[in-house]
Amino acid sequence: MFSTRQAAKRLGIGVKTLSRYIAIGKVPAPTILKAGNTSLHAWTEEEIECVRKLLPTIANGRKTRYQKKQSAIKTKSAQPGAPMAVPHKQRKPRS
């Protein structure tokens, strides 16, 4: 049995991040043990491995550089009637 802090350390993420994922429902909650007035999450090795498989599929709301580039290209090409480049006036040759 592992605490949430130990499970987060094994997963390589922060304790707040893991707690937030549990609260939102992105990660299934582990078994809860009641110890007096407090409740503790008790993680098993199988639950940690299940979360390890889920982590790559969880979208964290931030875009990668590649995603930003692709979305910029899509919006740029989607603009109808984009203005054409203006030809420059040719200079007179020096004599």
pLDDT of 1: 87
Q: Domain-by-domain residue ranges, the chain? A: 4-58
pLDDT of 56: 85
Can you state the percent helix, strand and coil of the chain, rounding each to 5?
A: 45, 15, 40
pLDDT of 86: 80
- Mean pLDDT per 10-residue segment, the chain (95 residues): 91 92 90 87 92 84 80 68 76 81
Residue type, 14: G
The C-alpha atoms of residue 8 and residue 20 are separated, in whole angstroms, by 12
**Cα 3 from chain centroid (whole Å):** 24
Contacts of 33 (CB under 8 A, 6+ apart): 39, 40, 41, 42
pLDDT of 77: 57
Contacts of 63 (CB under 8 A, 6+ apart): 71
pLDDT of 47: 93
pTM, rounded to two decimals? 0.59
Closest CA to 44 of 81, 82, 7: 7
